[in-house]
Structure 1
Amino acid sequence: MLRGLLSVFLILLSCGSLLAAEKPNFVWIMSEDNSSHFLKLFDPTGAPTPNIDALADQGLVYEHAFSNAPVCSVARTTLITSCYAPRIGTFHHRRSFMVPMPEGVKMFPAYLREAGYYTTNNSKEDYNAKKSDDVWDDSSRKASWKNRKADQPFFHVQTFTTTHESSLHFPAKDIQDKPTKTDPETVFVPPHHPKTETFKYTYARYHDRIQDVDQQVGQLVDQLRKEGLLETTFIFYFGDHGGVLPRGKGYAYETGLHIPLVIRVPEKFRDQMPEKIGSRIQSFVSFIDFGPTVLKLAGAKIPEGIDGHAFLALGDAQLMETDESLGYADRFDEKYDMVRTLRKGKYRYVRNFQPFNFDGLMNNYRYKMVAYREWRELYDAGKLNEVQAQFFKARPAEMLFDVEADPYETKNLAGDPQHAQALAELRGRLNTILTGMPDLGFYPESFLAANAAENPVAFGQQHKDEIAKLLETANLEILAFDEARPQLEEALDSADPWQRYWGVIACSSHGKSALPLGKQLESMAMTDPENLVRVRAAEFLALHADVDPAAVLSKAIADAETATEANLILNTAVLLQDGQPGYEFNFKHSDFKHLKGNRGELDRRLEYLIGK
C-alpha cells in the first residue's frame, strides 16, 4: 500500500515538475524614447530594423499600441503598476514625492514571483511609486535570467538606452563634422517641423540610433537561441513611450504616445495561440495592459484593483478588445501642463486644460537639442508657417484629429460640424473616464503632496464628487463665454479654493472674452486667501488685460511654503516672460531660500530665469 502511494506521489511530483517546465519565459526589450513612426515595420518613413522584423515574422505586430504617458517615469510606473497614473498619484515627472502602491495591489512581477518565476530587470526602474522587496530577484546592470534555479521560468526586462533623448544632445558643429550613416536628404521631416539642415540631420542621426538598437535586439535574441531558451520565451519588443524629436517625448500626441510593439511567440506555444503568427493586430493595447497580459500567459494571479486587462492568452480565451486608449501629460521636469487625450478608432481627442500653456514653453532639458533651439529661433524670427508655428502658440481647449488622414495632427477638426458627433462622443467618454478614476490632476501638485501623498487612491475616492465638480468647472472652457459666465461667476465666488482656481483658469482660456469679469479677477489677484489662486488671477490679467504681474508673483513666491509650490508659480512667470507681450521679472536666488522640499525642478527654472 505504501509502495503504491509512493509511486502515485512520484508520478504527481514528476507531473508538477513537467508543468513548471511548461511555463513560458518572458523577455521584455524596451528601447527608450522612440515612437512607431521611426520603424519601417510600422511606418514607411521609418528606419529598417531587420532583427525586429524577424521577431514580427515569428509573432504578432500590434498596430495600435500606446504608452499612456509620453515620458519615462510616468510611463514606466503605469507599466509596472497596471494602473492609470492620475488615479494613483504618479503622474508627475520627475516625482516630488513618492506614493505607496494602491492598497491590495503589488507591482505585477511580484505576482510572477509568487507563481515561481525568477524576475530580473536590467536596469532602469524610474518608478513614482514605492517598490517593495518582492518585485525583483535582481534589478541592476548585472541582472540576468542566468542566476535562476535549474528549470525555473523567468521574466526579464532589458532596457536599451541607445535611442534615449540624450543621444541627440550634440553640438551644432556635428551637423557638418560628423556625417550620419543615413543620408539626411532621404529622411522624412513631418509637416509640423521646418525642413532645415538641422532637422534633416537630427532625423538622420536618430534613424542611425534606431538601427543601432535593432542590432542590440538581434544580439539578445541570439543569446536566448544559444542558451536553448528561444522556443520557450515570449519576447516583447516595444518603446517606453513616444519619440524624442521635438513635440514627441513629453507631448500627448501620436508622436509621444504611439509605440512600436512586437511580440515573438515561441514555437512551443504557437499552437495554443488564437492569433495567426505573422498577423498585424488592430485591437488597441496600452501600458496598463502589459502586466495583466504576462500574468495571464504565465497562468499567474491577476489582481483586482488595477486598470488594465490581458490582451493575449494561451488557448481559446476570448479576451476583451477595445478601440481606445487614454493618455495623460502633466508636469515634465520643471514645465507644467495638464493634458488628457483619448485615442478612439481613427480619432484622437485632446483636451488641453490649460491651453494658454503653449507646447514650446521652456524646458531646460528639451532645449539642449539643437533642433529645439533652432525651431524656437525660427519662430521668434517669423520664419515658420502656420502649422510649424503652432508649437509656440496657445492651443484650443479641445482638439480633434483624424489620425488616419492626418497622422501628425496638424488639422484640428473640433470646430468642423461634420465631426461634431465624433467630438461629442469622445468628449463624453473622456469625461466619464476622468470622473470614474477619479483624476487627481485637478489639484495642484503641492496640495497633493501635503494632503494625499500617504494614500492617493483613498484621497481620490474620498473627494470623488469634488473632483467631478472641478472637472465640470474646467469644462466651462469649451463653452461660449456668455453661456459659461453664470457658472464662472459661481466658481469665482466659491468657498472652495480649487473651484476658484479652475474658475480663473477657465477665464484665462476664454481670453479677452472674459474681461467683463476683470474687476473680480483683479480683486482676487490681490486678496484671495489661496496663494495659487492669486497667481492664476494675475496670470489672466497679464495675458488679457495688460496688467503687470510682477508684484503679485513676487509676493506669491514669498508666501510659498515649498519648492514645488514655487515651481508652479515660476511656470506662470516663464509663460508671461516668453509669450506675448512679454514681462520682466527680477527674481533673486535669495527670494527662494526659505522654501522646503526637493528643489531639483525649481533650480532648473531658476537657472533659466536668473542663471546659476
Structure 2
Amino acid sequence: MACTAPQPAGVAKTQQEQRPNIVLIVFEDLSPRWGAFGDELAQTPSIDALAQQSVRYPNTFTTAGVCAPSRSALITGVHQQTLGTHQMRTKGALPGMSGGGPIEYEAVPPPQVKAFPELLRAAGYYTSNNGKTDYQFGEPFTIWDANAPDADWRGRRDGQPFFAMINIYETHESYIWPEDRESDTPLLNAVTQRNQRDLAGKARLTDPADVEVPPYLPDTPIVRRDIATHYDNIAFAERKVAEVVAKLDADGLLENTIVVVTTDHGDGLPRMKRTVYDSGLRVPLMVRFPDERRAGEVDSRLVSFVDLAPTILEWAKIARPPFIQGRNFVLGEQRDYVFAAADRHDNVLGRVKAARDDRFKYMRNYRPDLAILRPLAFRDAQLAMQEFWRLAAEGGLPPAAARLVTAPSPAEELYDTQADPHEIDNLADDPAFRDVLIRMRGAMDAWLERTGDLSAVPEAEMIETMWPGMVQPITAPPTVAVKDGRVTISSATSGASIAYVLGEEELSPGTIYTRPFEVGGGVTVKARAIRYGYAPSETVTQTVR
C-alpha cells in the first residue's frame, strides 16, 4: 500500500517567529565530573559559569552505558531495544572494523519512528550536526540540513529558527590512551596520532595522588594516572562550551536560544562505560533558557535520555508524536523510574536490564553464566584496564573488583544508591529489602511490556525480519502525482521519509515532504525517499505539465 509521508501539524508564521533556537551540546563518555555538579577536583570554569545561568538536573540517566545505543534513544525518544539498535554495534565504526554481530547491518526501527531533528526540519527549523551520528539505523539524509565537522546554524535562512547539535569528543575513553604509544596495531597508532593532534596544548593539571579511586577498581599508580588524564581531558575540552556560547552571543542569538549541555553516557573507564551501574548511566544535564529563568536552580527529578526528544519538540511548539516513549522533563509529570539496558558489546555477548527510582537500582542479568567484565579489545587498549587484567590474573584485585570477573554473576542485583553510591553491596537476597525487590521487578516487567524488547530475540533472527535474506532492502522510489497543479509525493515503502526540491537545485538535503503543494506548469520536481535502516531510493524527476 502506498504511504504518504507523515504530516506534521503546521505552525503559523507568528508562532514560528516566537519559537526558540535550540543548541544541544553533548560530551562523550563523561559522568558528572564538573564543579557545578559537586566534583571538587574538576577544573571546569566554562561549565560552572554556564551552570549559574542554568537549571541543573543531577539525576539524569542515559538508556545505555555506551554511545550508539544511547544516541539512538536520544535522537528518537525511543528505547534502543524497541528500535533494534541495542547491540553495540550493528556495523563497524571504521573501515576494516567489524560490528561484532552475525553480519554488518543497519537496524530498521518501527515505521512511524523519526529522529526528532527530522520533525524539527519538517516544521521549518534548520538542523545541523557537527559530525557524530552513531544511530545504528544509517544516516538518513532527511535528518540534517548540514552534517559536517564545521556545521552550525550559520547556513540557515535569515530568521529561520535552528537546532544545532554539537558533539565534543576529547572526553572519549580513547583520549585517555597514551599519547606516545607505538603499536603494531593500525587502530592504536591512528588513535595515538589523533590524540597528539587533538590534545595539543593540553595542560597536566591533575595530580594522580588527588583522584578518588572507586572500590571496584584497583588503587594503583596506573589507574590513578588514567583517572587524572580523564580529568585533564575534561578541563581541556570544556572550554568549547564557552566558545559556543560566545559565538551565539556574537551572532546576536544567545537571548533567543535554549542551550542544553549533557554527555552521552558515563565515564570511559573500567566498570563504568558499557555497564548499567550508575557509573555508566548517570550524566550531568543543564539547561540555560534565554531569559535565564530558574538560573542556578537544581531540579532533582529523574530524567531519562528518552525525555530529551519530547522536551525539545515541545519547546519548538511541535506536539509529541505517539511513538515517543519519553516525557517533557521541564514541564511534564515527574518520573518514578528510569530504565536502561546493556547487550552485546563488539563480539562480547551480554544482556542486562536496569530499573532505578530515586533511591534503589534493580538489575536483571539474563546471562548469569557470564562474568560482568570479560576481555574486549577496544576497551582493553586502556592502560587501566590492562592493569585490571594483570591483577586479576595474579589474584590481586580488591573484592569489589574481583567479583566483576568471576562467573556466575548474580541473576539479580539490588542497590541502595543513597547508602551505597558505588553499588557494591547487593541487597537482592536480603529479606529486609524483599518488598523493594518485588516492586522494582514489577516496574521493569511493566516497562518491558510497554516498550517491547527486541533483545529477547536472537540477533540473527531480528536481522532477518528487518533485512530479509540478510540483504538490505531498498526504499521504493517516490511517486510524484500531479492533479490540477497540486503535487502529491508518496512512497510504497511504509515509513519512508521523502525529501524534494523544485527546479534545478541539488537534492541535498532538500525539503521534507509533509503535505501536497501547488506549483505552476513547467516546474521540475525532484524527490528521493529513505526508510530508516534501508538503502535510499533512486531520485525521481518529474516536470509538472
**Distance apart, 1:179 and its partner CA:** 8.8
Code of the residue aligned with 1:94 in structure 2: it is R
The structure 2 residue matched to 1:21, chosen from 17, 24, 31, is 17
Q: Give the corresponding residue for 2:384.
A: 371
- 2:177 and 2:35 mapped to 1: Cα distance? 24
Q: Is the 8 A contact 1:45 1:188 kept in 2?
A: no
Code of the residue aligned with 1:305 in structure 2: it is F
Q: Give the corresponding residue for 1:435.
A: 449
- 1:171 and 1:379 mapped to 2: Cα distance? 26
Tell me, yes or no, if structure 1 residue 261 matches structure 2 residue 261: no
Q: Give the corresponding residue for 1:332.
A: 345
- 2:12 and 2:75 mapped to 1: Cα distance? 29
SS of structure 2 residue aligned to 1:415: coil
Code of the residue aligned with 2:400 in structure 1: it is V
**Distance apart, 1:89 and its partner CA:** 1.0
The CA deviation string for residues 470-523 of structure 1, in whole angstroms up to 9 with x for no partner, is xxxxxxxxxxxxxxxxxxxxxxxxxxxxxxxxxxxxxxxxxxxxxxxxxxxxxx
Q: Is the 8 A contact 2:84 2:108 kept in 1?
A: no
**Distance apart, 1:323 and its partner CA:** 2.9
Identity of aligned residues (%): 35
Query: How does 1:459-608 map onto structure 2 within 5 Å?
Result: none
The structure 2 residue matched to 1:303, chosen from 321, 341, 355, is 321
SS of structure 1 residue aligned to 2:309: helix
1:453/1:173 CA distance change after superposition, 3 Å: closer
- 1:347 and 1:187 mapped to 2: Cα distance? 27
Q: Give the corresponding residue for 1:4.
A: none
Q: Which has the higher contact order (CA 8 A, sep 6+)?
A: 2
- 2:284 and 2:13 mapped to 1: Cα distance? 36
Code of the residue aligned with 1:120 in structure 2: it is S
Q: Give the corresponding residue for 1:234.
A: 258
**Distance apart, 1:246 and its partner CA:** 0.5
1:434/1:20 CA distance change after superposition, 3 Å: closer
Query: How does 1:102-121 map onto structure 2 within 5 Å?
Result: 102-121=110-129
The CA deviation string for residues 237-296 of structure 1, in whole angstroms up to 9 with x for no partner, is 1011111011111111101110110111112x73xxxxx332111111111110110011
- 1:155 and 1:129 mapped to 2: Cα distance? 21
The structure 2 residue matched to 1:206, chosen from 194, 213, 230, is 230
Question: Could you tell me the TM-score, scaled by structure 1's length?
Answer: 0.67
- 2:255 and 2:41 mapped to 1: Cα distance? 29
Q: Is the 8 A contact 2:34 2:48 kept in 1?
A: no
- 1:410 and 1:110 mapped to 2: Cα distance? 42
Code of the residue aligned with 1:365 in structure 2: it is F
Q: Give the corresponding residue for 1:448.
A: 462
Q: Give the corresponding residue for 2:395.
A: 382
- 2:105 and 2:67 mapped to 1: Cα distance? 16
The CA deviation string for residues 524-557 of structure 1, in whole angstroms up to 9 with x for no partner, is xxxxxxxxxxxxxxxxxxxxxxxxxxxxxxxxxx
Q: Give the corresponding residue for 2:149.
A: 141
Root-mean-square deviation (CA, aligned residues, Å) is 2.1
- 2:35 and 2:402 mapped to 1: Cα distance? 28
Q: Is the 8 A contact 2:107 2:463 kept in 1?
A: no
**Distance apart, 1:385 and its partner CA:** 2.2
SS of structure 1 residue aligned to 2:356: strand
Code of the residue aligned with 2:29 in structure 1: it is D
The CA deviation string for residues 106-137 of structure 1, in whole angstroms up to 9 with x for no partner, is 11111111221100011100111244332111
The structure 2 residue matched to 1:70, chosen from 65, 68, 75, is 65
Task: Select between 301-310 and 423-432 the one with higher mean Cα deviation.
Answer: 301-310
- 2:203 and 2:396 mapped to 1: Cα distance? 27
SS of structure 2 residue aligned to 1:311: coil
**Structure 2 gap ranges (5+):** 1-10, 91-103, 183-201, 469-545
The structure 2 residue matched to 1:164, chosen from 162, 172, 181, is 172
Q: Is the 8 A contact 1:400 1:423 kept in 2?
A: yes
- 1:332 and 1:381 mapped to 2: Cα distance? 26
The structure 2 residue matched to 1:218, chosen from 226, 238, 242, is 242
Tell me, yes or no, if structure 1 residue 392 matches structure 2 residue 376: no
Tell me, yes or no, if structure 1 residue 290 matches structure 2 residue 308: yes
Code of the residue aligned with 1:310 in structure 2: it is N
1:93/1:221 CA distance change after superposition, 3 Å: same
- 1:425 and 1:440 mapped to 2: Cα distance? 24
- 2:411 and 2:41 mapped to 1: Cα distance? 32
- 1:248 and 1:402 mapped to 2: Cα distance? 18
Q: Give the corresponding residue for 1:415.
A: 429
- 1:114 and 1:445 mapped to 2: Cα distance? 33
The CA deviation string for residues 297-341 of structure 1, in whole angstroms up to 9 with x for no partner, is 11013211121111225xxxxx21113110000011111100000
The structure 2 residue matched to 1:42, chosen from 37, 50, 59, is 37
Q: Is the 8 A contact 1:52 1:262 kept in 2?
A: no
1:387/1:172 CA distance change after superposition, 3 Å: farther
- 1:118 and 1:230 mapped to 2: Cα distance? 16
- 1:165 and 1:173 mapped to 2: Cα distance? 15
Q: Is the 8 A contact 1:121 1:156 kept in 2?
A: yes
Tell me, yes or no, if structure 1 residue 425 matches structure 2 residue 439: yes
The total of aligned residue pairs comes to: 426
